[in-house]
Amino acid sequence: MTSYISLPMYAANIDQRLRIIAGKCTNCSIIVYPQRLVCKCCGGKNFDLTPLSGLGELYTFSVLHGGGAPSEFDYEQKMTGDVLCGIVDLFEGPRVMARLADIDSSQLKIGLKLEAVIRRLYDQEGILRYGVKFVPETL
């Protein structure tokens, strides 16, 4: 299991990921995050950029204990222990897989209100990779 993303691929869609911008299909209006080249619903190829609120709730989760995470997260796992992952239902519709942060695994529960934050993910090829993690909502 790995979360390797080549540097060109990472750079190509960093703006959408760090600004939490989805694609809204101009044909069927489904909102897709992260945006794809082809709509998964109708096959359309044209999208309007749509900023997302970053708010959602936990659909399900997994706790990766000692050594269970991809090698990119070895350092983090040594420093913090468990790696928390979840599937988050965003309020605008998309369901995304993401890392969870700022919460103890014993506090995780289905339906937990979450908000997206930009955080360091890992170091790969000498470059720090940043992306979205979800933390308990503070609103």
The structure's pTM equals: 0.79
pLDDT of residue 20: 87
pLDDT of residue 78: 64
Q: From edge to edge, which strands make up the β-sheet containing 47-51?
A: 31-32, 21-25, 47-51
Block means of pLDDT (10 residues each) for the chain, 139 residues, are 56 67 94 89 94 96 75 63 89 93 93 93 72 88
Q: Which of these, 29, 30, 4, lies nearest to 129 by C-alpha position?
A: 4
pLDDT of residue 9: 60
